[in-house]
Amino acid sequence: MNNSVHGVPPPSIYLDLPEQVVSLNVTHRHARNHAVLDTLSFKITSSELVHLPQVEQFLRALPLVRSVEPYFELKPREPLSSEKHKERTVYYISNFLRALSYTSCESLLLRERAQCYFPRCPGATNFQDPVDLRPLTTLKFLFVSMSLLFLPPFRDWMIQSMNGSPLTTVVFMCLLPERKDWSQVLRRLELPHLSQLVLGGTKLHFGTIREFLSRHPNLESLTLLENPKGMKCVLRDPTLLPRLGMLKCPPVTLYYFLGDPMVLPCLEEITLDLPAWTIRTHVRDWNEAIRVISRRKINLRLHLTLILGLEGHPFPPTAPTEVLGVVTDKVDCVTLDVRHSPALLNYVPTYLKLWLTALRNAPYVTIKGQHSGYNSELRMYIYNAFSQIRRLDLLP
pLDDT digits (tens, 9 = 90+) for 317-337: 999 888 898 999 999 999 999
Q: Give the end of a domain, one of 172, 194, 216.
A: 194
Say if strands 169-173 and 196-200 run parallel, antiparallel, or are unpaired.
parallel
Q: Are residues 259 and 361 in the same domain?
A: no
If one compares 118 and 277, the residue with the highest pLDDT of the two is 277
Look at residue 395 and tell me if it is in a domain: yes
Look at residue 162 and tell me if it is in a domain: yes
Q: In the prediction, which pLDDT does 126 show?
A: 47
Residues of the chain above pLDDT 70, percent: 87
Tell me the average pLDDT across 173-200.
96
State the SS3 of the chain: CCHHHHCCCCCEEEECCCCCCCCCCCCCHHHHHCCCEEEEEEEEEHHHHHHHHHHHHHHHCCCCEEEEEEEEECCCCCCCCHHHHHHHHHHHHHHHHHHHCCCCCCEEEEEEHHHCCCCCCCCCHHHCCCCCCCCCCCCCEEEEECHHHHCHHHHHHHHHHHHCCCCCEEEEECCCCCHHHHHHHHCCCCCCCCCEEEEECCCCEHHHHHHHHHCCCCCCEEEECCCCECCCCCCCCCCCCCCCCEEEECHHHHHHHHCCCCCCCCCCEEEECCCCCCCCCCHHHHHHHHHHHHCCCCCCCEEEEEECCECCECCCCCCCCCCCCCCCCCEEEEEEECCCCHHHHCCCCHHHHHHHHHCCCCCEEEEECCCCCCCCHHHHHHHHHCCCCCEEEEEC
If one compares 240 and 54, the residue with the highest pLDDT of the two is 240
pLDDT surpasses 70 at 53: yes
Q: Are residues 232 and 96 in the same domain?
A: no
Q: Give the end of a domain, one of 179, 194, 209.
A: 194
Q: Are residues 280 and 234 in the same domain?
A: yes
Look at residue 212 and tell me if it is in a domain: no
Q: Are residues 45 and 147 in the same domain?
A: yes
Total domains in the fold of the chain: 3
Q: Are residues 22 and 168 in the same domain?
A: yes
Look at residue 209 and tell me if it is in a domain: no
Nearest partner of 365 among 324, 304, 315, judged by Cα: 304
Look at residue 206 and tell me if it is in a domain: no
pLDDT surpasses 50 at 278: yes
The answer to which of 153-157, 200-204, 372-376 has the lowest mean pLDDT is 372-376
Q: Are residues 145 and 255 in the same domain?
A: no
Residues of the chain above pLDDT 90, percent: 68
Q: Are residues 8 and 117 in the same domain?
A: yes
pTM for this predicted structure: 0.92
Q: Are residues 166 and 234 in the same domain?
A: no
Look at residue 203 and tell me if it is in a domain: no
CATH code where residue 38 lies: 3.80.10
pLDDT in tens, 78-124: 544 567 777 888 889 999 999 998 899 999 999 997 665 555 544 44
Look at residue 396 and tell me if it is in a domain: yes
pLDDT surpasses 60 at 27: no
Q: Are residues 152 and 231 in the same domain?
A: no
Tell me the average pLDDT across 348-375.
95
Q: Give the end of a domain, one of 144, 179, 194.
A: 194
Q: Are residues 148 and 162 in the same domain?
A: yes
User: Domain containing 378: what range?
Assistant: 301-314+322-396
Q: Are residues 69 and 171 in the same domain?
A: yes
Look at residue 208 and tell me if it is in a domain: no
Q: In the prediction, which pLDDT does 45 show?
A: 87
User: What are 303's strand-pairing partners?
Assistant: 269, 333
- For the chain, the average pLDDT equals 89
Q: In the prediction, which pLDDT does 148 show?
A: 87
CA dihedral 149, 155, 156, 162 (to 10 degrees): 60
pLDDT surpasses 60 at 189: yes
CA dihedral 370, 373, 374, 380 (to 10 degrees): 90
Q: Are residues 333 and 249 in the same domain?
A: no
